[in-house]
């Protein structure tokens, strides 16, 4: 595992900027730009920030609490029926009096709102992106310092070169590095998250089987 401190040392070395080092004038600036880099890619789906969790509906209750640690929900499925709920908006809901097996979902105040209102207890499976904060302590380790470390380091250097040092050559160099690292992670994510196609017995069409 790679610590945040190790990555900061790497950035200082690769940029040849001792003023970014621990205890120096721009240490806090480095922390800020590292955090900005993590936030920049926080909505990008990688294999290491993909999250699956379940929640249970309650009969006659339209809202379902969002499982902890989610940043974004991409899909909601009804596990008992192997069906995917249709994403929509609250404005598209026709009424709240109808109770039945839910077919649609929408965001509502950091919760999930269902339509029709569930008429029984159902298990929902959520697919999306985990909320992972940027490291703060020198000994911290998470996906940004491990699986995504080369991408985040490259983007941080680019951000510093552009926003602090006004180094056009550095911006071009580090931006190219960040692009290469992002492409690499996207390829690996596509490989890891790809699933085989299977024929649905219900309609004869190909469906993606995500389990």
If asked whether residues 58 and 105 sit together in one domain, one would say yes
What's the average model confidence in pLDDT over 35-51? 97
Instruction: Decide if 113 is inside a domain.
Output: yes
If asked whether residues 12 and 65 sit together in one domain, one would say no
Q: Reply yes or no on whether the pLDDT at 204 is more than 50.
A: no
If asked whether residues 66 and 95 sit together in one domain, one would say yes
Instruction: Decide if 203 is inside a domain.
Output: no
Q: Reply yes or no on whether the pLDDT at 163 is more than 50.
A: yes
If asked whether residues 87 and 68 sit together in one domain, one would say yes
If asked whether residues 23 and 123 sit together in one domain, one would say no
Domain boundary among 98, 115, 130: 130
State which residues form the domain around 36. 4-45+133-193
Q: Reply yes or no on whether the pLDDT at 200 is more than 50.
A: no
Task: Report the mean per-residue pLDDT for the chain.
Answer: 90
- ∠ CA 141-41-27, nearest 5°, is 55
Domain boundary among 130, 148, 165: 130
Q: How many residues does the chain have?
A: 211
d(C-alpha 23, C-alpha 39), whole Å: 24
Q: Return the residue matching tokens 């040849």.
A: 16
If asked whether residues 144 and 187 sit together in one domain, one would say yes
Q: 75 with 129: CB under 8 angstroms?
A: no
- The residue with greater pLDDT, 209 or 49, is 49
3-state secondary structure 124-167: EEEEEEECCCCCCCCCCCCCCCCCCHHHHHHHHHHHHHHHCCCC
Number of domains in the chain: 2
Q: What is the pTM of this model?
A: 0.85
If asked whether residues 113 and 149 sit together in one domain, one would say no
If asked whether residues 117 and 169 sit together in one domain, one would say no
What's the average model confidence in pLDDT over 154-182? 98
What's the average model confidence in pLDDT over 188-201? 69
How big, in percent rounded to 5, are the helix, strand and coil portions of the chain? 35, 25, 40
Quick one: pLDDT band at residue 195, thresholds 50, 70, 90?
low
Instruction: Decide if 103 is inside a domain.
Output: yes
- pLDDT value for 197: 46
Domain boundary among 115, 130, 145: 130
Which region among 9-13, 111-115, 151-155 has the lowest average model confidence (pLDDT)? Answer: 111-115
Q: Where are the alpha helices (DSSP H) in 19-167?
A: 27-40, 149-163
What's the average model confidence in pLDDT over 113-137? 96
Instruction: Decide if 38 is inside a domain.
Output: yes
Instruction: Decide if 208 is inside a domain.
Output: no
């Amino acid at each position: 595992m790679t610590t945040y401190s190790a990555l900061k040392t790497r950035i200082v070395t690769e940029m040849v900027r001792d003023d970014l080092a621990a205890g120096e004038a721009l240490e806090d600036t480095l922390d800020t730009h590292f955090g900005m880099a993590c936030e920049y890619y926080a909505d990008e789906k990688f294999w290491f920030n993909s999250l699956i969790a379940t929640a249970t509906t309650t009969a006659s209750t339209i809202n379902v609490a969002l499982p902890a640690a989610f940043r974004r929900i991409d899909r909601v499925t009804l596990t008992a029926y192997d069906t995917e709920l249709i994403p929509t908006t609250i404005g598209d809901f026709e009424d709240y009096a109808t109770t039945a097996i839910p077919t649609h979902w929408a965001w509502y105040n950091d919760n999930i709102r269902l339509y029709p209102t569930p008429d029984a207890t159902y298990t929902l499976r959520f697919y999306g992106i985990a909320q992972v904060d940027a490291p703060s302590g020198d000994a911290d380790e998470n996906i940004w310092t491990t699986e995504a470390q080369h991408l985040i380091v490259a983007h941080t250097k680019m951000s510093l070169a552009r926003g602090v040092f006004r180094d056009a050559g550095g911006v071009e160099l580090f931006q190219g590095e960040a692009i290469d690292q992002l492409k690499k992670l996207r390829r690996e994510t596509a490989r890891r998250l790809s699933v085989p196609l299977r024929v649905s017995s219900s309609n004869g069409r190909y469906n993606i089987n995500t389990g």
